[in-house]
Amino acid sequence: MRANFHLKTLTVAVAALSIASVASAAGLDRSGQDITAFLQDGTYAESVYTYIDADVSGKDLSGNKLNDIAESYDFFRYGVKADINDTFSIGILYDEPFGAAADYNGQNDFVTDSDRDAIIQDFTKNPNITEAYVDNVLIPQLQGALAPGNPGGLTAEQLQAAQGQLIGLEAAKGLAAVAGEATQVEVRTESITGILGAKFGANKEFQAYGGPVAQRVKADVKLRGDAYSSAKGYTTHISNDQDYGWIAGMAYSKPEIALKAALTYRSEIKHNAKAFETFPIATAAGATAGLALPTTRHSDIEINTPESVNFDFQTGINPTMLATAKVRWVPWSDFAIVPSLYNDVSKISTKDDEGLALVSYDEDQWQVELGLAKRMTPALAVTGTVGWDSGAGNPVTSLGPIEGYYSAGLGAKYNVTENWAVSAGGKYLWFGDAKGQIPTKAVVSNFEDNDGFALGVKLSYQAN
């Protein structure tokens, strides 16, 4: 009966249809943390290349266009699995599970103003210039307001604000944003997973598996333009950090009907990285609140990449057709990036001891993908999929303004020889409309009618 289902040919192995996530579709999800390479029969190895291009465009609150802020990106995935005997199996998987890549451009609220901010930059480097504006207030007026006797006739609150602006300008020498500089974010992760599996049951139909996970993370963020209000000009670099977690799961198989099911849990991984921050207005904000805040800080930052649960399922419908399903859950509502200096400055505006996170999400991610594979010849199979991603809330961070997506994909797998196969395919993605918000929860942008595509190719080897 097993031979009738032609398991090796039916198995869906199309790279672009296996990737479960798209950058910023939900949180920072990218690869979907697929482990199906370990669930293959016999000795198996794969190398997967994926390219994703998303068009994410919208408008700021002033009606200015925000053209395609999502940068295209690509990544590799590798997997090797072998049976020690009929009970134990080992495997090693590599992927790039989480990430973000956004770059604003043009003339809008997310790019440093080329006129007013250029004057500020010039003033910070040339204190003798006395006709520069800061938030539409002439520098001489500010200086005069602070002179004995208050000849400017300003209120106590205006005096305090004027003093803070002057202190901030002095502190910002050499740190002010260059005119035309844009808001940018880049987050990269790499992960290596080691897995040991043990089969049990009357026919070895059950398998328990688990192992350690090593992960690296690094990030760079620049906030520019009026959209970020008092946080404009903020920059942070989070250095490469490696830390560890674990994976555990249970699988069931029934070869005579090509059935395989697996439930996989991945733990949260706690990173303690080094972050270097520059915040040109920190001293001004601190002076206003009676605090001593620096404009730069080199300190520790804790970033916890989220736990996740994946469910993978396939079953034969008839001797030439296979049905597949994938479900993924990630609790992005528990995730946050909280740099120390940014958080300290934000406490002034929030007037509490908690402050704000630089990046956070309101909801958890749910993701579903359904597929069919049809064996056309003994060497060729074609596939089709449809998918849905819930996103991680709306409004969502302006550094990744997408509220999930719907997708449709096609692909094919061709067995070049008895052991070697090539797979290729593509997905089209319809992104959900989203409103971009800054950490204060103020909505600063609107994104509608966006889409994207994913292309993938896989080279695989299998020997039973």
Average pLDDT over residues 273-295: 67
- Domain spanning 7-96+187-463 has what CATH number? 2.40.160.60
Q: Compute the average pLDDT of residues 356-369.
A: 90
For residue 264, give the nearest of 247, 252, 280 by alpha carbon. Answer: 247
pLDDT band at 360 (very low <50, low <70, confident <90, very high): confident
CA-closest candidate to residue 407, choices 423, 391, 395, 396: 391
Q: Where are the domains of the chain?
A: 7-96+187-463, 115-179
Q: pLDDT at position 16, please?
A: 34
Q: What is the mean pLDDT of residues 309-314?
A: 95
pLDDT band at 212 (very low <50, low <70, confident <90, very high): very high
Query: Rounded to an integer, what distance in angstroms lies between the CA atom of residue 371 and that of residue 303?
Result: 35
Token couple for 76: 């590799």
Which residues have C-beta within 8 Å of that of residue 56, sequence separation ≥ 6?
24, 68, 69, 70, 102, 401, 402, 431, 447, 450, 452
Mean pLDDT, range 214-235, rounded to an integer: 88
pLDDT band with cut points at 50, 70 and 90 for residue 227: confident
pLDDT at 405 over 80: yes
- Mean pLDDT, all residues of the chain: 80
Determine the pLDDT at residue 5: 52
**Portion of the chain with pLDDT greater than 70, in percent:** 77
211: number of Cβ within 10 Å: 18
Q: With contact defined as beta carbons under 8 Å apart, do 319 and 6 qualify?
A: yes
Give the pLDDT confidence of 245-259 residue by residue, as tens digits: 999 999 999 988 889
Confidence of residue 396 (pLDDT cuts 50, 70, 90): confident
The predicted structure's pLDDT at residue 320: 86
Q: What is the pLDDT of residues 121-165, one digit of tens each?
A: 433 444 433 333 344 344 444 445 445 555 455 555 655 555 555
Residue 134: what pLDDT? 40
Cα–Cα dist 43/111, whole Å: 52
Between 156-171 and 282-289, two packed helices, what is the crossing angle to 10 degrees?
Answer: 150
Closest among 284, 300, 396 to 349, alpha carbons compared? 284
